[in-house]
Amino acid sequence: MIMNATISPSGQHTRDLRKGRFSEPGRTYLITTVVQNRHPLFAEWTIGRLLVEELRATENFGLAQSLAWVVMPDHLHWLVTLQSSNLPALVQRVKGRSAISINRSLGSQGQIWQKGFHDHALRKDEEVQTVARYIVANPLRAGLVERIGDYPLWDAIWLAA
């Protein structure tokens, strides 16, 4: 079972998260990244939509295909197939560009995201749709909603058929 990644606010485990990281185009990854000090920034869904715009932009630029994602109040889970980017550059792009738009929207400046991110490359025997269901069910498990349809910050490609 996939567990939520926990990265210390001090970033002391950030270096460990990079050990052995390998980016493979065409491979599907589950990425988890956390808001600075786990502040529930995305509890305000309009701020979460700014992050969603950046996730969608990665597809528009041919960098990745988003399979499923959920923006939780203090973190992001993103199931993505890497296309023409490497994993650290992709995540840095999303975090950097979203931080700029969030700070602009809030009239503030400063760090939005904790350093680093957790990634898990899916093995061939892992069922992608099962992982996607797990991701989008996070708001239910967290008690934020009673039905996933009531949560505004998630999506999965299997809905568009």
pTM of the model: 0.85
**CB-based contacts of 1, cutoff 8 Å, min separation 6:** 134
Mean pLDDT confidence for 30-39: 98
Residue 87's Cα: distance from chain center in Å? 12
Span 37-159 CATH architecture: 2-Layer Sandwich (3.30)
- Residue 24 has a pLDDT of 84
| Helix, strand or coil, per DSSP, at residue 109 | coil
Residue of 51, 31, 30 lying closest to 112 (CA atoms): 51
Confidence tier at 135 by pLDDT (50, 70, 90): very high
In whole angstroms, give the CA distance from residue 50 to residue 138. Answer: 20
Residue 104 confidence (pLDDT): 98
* pLDDT band, very low/low/confident/very high, at 69 (cuts 50, 70, 90): very high
Sign of CA dihedral 60, 62, 64, 65: positive
Q: Cα-Cα-Cα-Cα dihedral of 101, 103, 104, 109, to 10°? A: -140
Buried b / exposed e along 38-62 (16+ C-beta atoms within 10 A): eeebbeeeebbebbbebbeebeeee
